[in-house]
Amino acid sequence: MTWSRPSTNNVHQADPLPAGEEILTAAEVADLLRIHPSTVYKLLRQGELPAFKVGSNWRFLRTSIDEWLTSQSMKASEGQLYAEETVQTAKAISMRAVAEEGLTPDRAGVVQGRMRRDRR
């Protein structure tokens, strides 16, 4: 009996990966992100990480992970800016309230300190 190549007429072939595209495993993504592998799976359950399954195993495109990291960095930067603006606004409101009460900033600190002690 001779061996022959199976027919490819009915086989769907996916487009090959772009040149240089790297596919990572969950363990490799954990190493790349410097997190525990269980955290990778948690992020997958939450739908946070871009990934696909090959059989029962998760796989990740390196470019997708890089893009995800960039978007996470941007979210963190936006959050930090928002937090800083909130602190500045709170300080401005606090100083306005101090001025309306006729207190000096030093006296306001003493008053705030007393209020905190009184709450105990």
Give 13-62 pLDDT, tens digit per residue.
666 677 778 999 999 999 999 999 999 999 999 999 999 999 999 999 99
Would you state the pLDDT for residue 55? Answer: 95
Distant-in-sequence, close-in-space partners of 29: CB < 8 Å, separation ≥ 6: 40, 49, 60, 65
Angle of helix 26-33 versus helix 62-100 axis, rounded to 10: 40
Q: Is residue 100 part of a domain?
A: yes
Q: Is residue 115 part of a domain?
A: yes
Domain range for residue 36?
Answer: 23-119
Domain total of the chain? 1
Q: Is residue 64 part of a domain?
A: yes
Q: What is the CATH number of the domain that holds 62?
A: 1.10.1660
Q: Is residue 103 part of a domain?
A: yes
Would you state the pLDDT for residue 88? Answer: 72
- Paired strand residues for 59: 25, 52
Q: Is residue 41 part of a domain?
A: yes
Q: Could you tell me the pLDDT band of residue 7, with boundaries at 50, 70 and 90?
A: low
DSSP string, 7-42: P-TT---PPPPPTT--EEEHHHHHHHHTS-HHHHHH
Q: Is residue 36 part of a domain?
A: yes
Across the beta sheet with 52-54, what order do the strands follow?
A: 23-25, 57-61, 52-54
Q: Is residue 14 part of a domain?
A: no
Give 55-100 pLDDT, tens digit per residue.
999 999 999 999 999 988 887 777 766 666 776 776 766 667 666 7
Q: Is residue 9 part of a domain?
A: no
